[in-house]
């Protein structure tokens, strides 16, 4: 007696899935594709002068060298000996960050055979108080 309509079984009702019709974790992206996969390109030469637009399709299988990004090395970085990571763990004279390992990490303060005694507590807590004072901007007198 009751029957589903034929429109429910047809392919016409299969609309493309969008983020509004799916679950909360479904994300299709913004639609901004890779630069090298664009169909229409606003061309510019290496000096920044605007060239004519042209159409480029994926069927050519050739890279347009004007579209490949070119990176310029800043002055003073040509020498590989001057390259350092963002956090340089070297000496302070060379512009590095001093290494103060925390307890439990390699090269960090170790407990003696007596265990967690007063001397070890003073050694560990002194660094904590010093870091807290530096963070608050208060100078601590050393004893």
Question: What is the per-residue pLDDT across 47-90, written as a single tens digit (0 to 9) for each?
Answer: 767 666 565 555 555 677 777 888 887 777 777 777 777 777 77
What gap in Å lies between CA 44 and CA 68, rounded to an integer?
11
Q: What is the pTM of this model?
A: 0.22
Q: Where are the domains of the chain?
A: 33-71, 80-135
Q: Report pLDDT for 43.
A: 66
DSSP conformational letter for 113 = T
What gap in Å lies between CA 88 and CA 63, rounded to an integer?
38
Query: Tokens 């590095």 belong to which residue?
Result: 96
DSSP conformational letter for 9 = H
Q: Report pLDDT for 97.
A: 77
Encode pLDDT of 83-119 as tens digits: 777 777 777 787 787 777 777 777 777 777 787 888 8
User: Cα dist. 5→1, 2, 8, 13, 14 in Å?
Assistant: 12, 9, 6, 11, 14
């Amino acid at each position: 007696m009751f029957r589903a309509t034929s429109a429910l079984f047809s392919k016409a009702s299969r609309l493309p899935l969008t983020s509004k019709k799916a679950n909360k974790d479904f994300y299709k992206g913004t639609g901004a594709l890779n630069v090298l996969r664009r169909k229409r390109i606003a061309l510019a030469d290496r000096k920044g002068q605007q060239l004519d637009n042209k159409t480029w399709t994926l069927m050519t299988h050739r890279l347009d060298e004007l579209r490949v990004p070119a990176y310029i090395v800043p002055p003073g970085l040509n020498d590989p000996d001057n390259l350092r990571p963002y956090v340089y763990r070297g000496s302070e004279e060379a512009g590095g960050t001093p290494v103060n390992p925390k307890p439990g990490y390699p090269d960090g303060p170790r407990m003696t055979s007596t265990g967690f005694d007063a001397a070890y507590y003073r050694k560990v807590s002194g660094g904590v108080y010093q870091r807290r004072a530096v963070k608050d901007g208060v100078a601590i007198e050393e004893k």
